[in-house]
Amino acid sequence: MNIEELKRLAAPLVKWGADSAWGNPDGTATVGYIDEDDNHDPIATVDVTIYDGFEDESLGIAQFIAAANPTAILELIRQRDELLAALKALDRGCRDPRCIGVLHGLDLARTAIAKAEG
């Protein structure tokens, strides 16, 4: 997973506000924005009604896409970056042998940092 690419793709899409989903009478669902006056501004339609056994899943897929909107993705990345910085600071600050009690935790943190940074 390339975090920088995800940030690059998400940033210009924040303005679209695609954080809502609603079902349509034909079984499809829409991802879009609902304003304060309850106006529904569609951005994308999800339609899995043509697939046997999945006819009722369009809304669930649309809800997931709406929840994973660019603003939410950027916030998750921000939180991840903040946690990585804290873990790195902890790692740098615990070079003293008196930190023996937390060394196992630091090993786990180092593994998590390496994995997160890919």
More confident residue, 2 or 55: 2
Q: Would you kindly state where each structural domain of the chain is located, as residue ranges? A: 18-68, 83-117
Task: Give the CA count within 13 Å in the CB-facing half-sphere of 20.
Answer: 14
**Model confidence at 96: pLDDT above 70:** no
Buried b (16+ CB within 10 A) or exposed e, 22-45: ebbeeeebbbbbeeeeeeeeebee
What is the pTM assigned to this prediction?
0.74
Residue-wise pLDDT tens digits, 21-57: 999 999 999 999 999 999 999 999 999 988 887 778 9
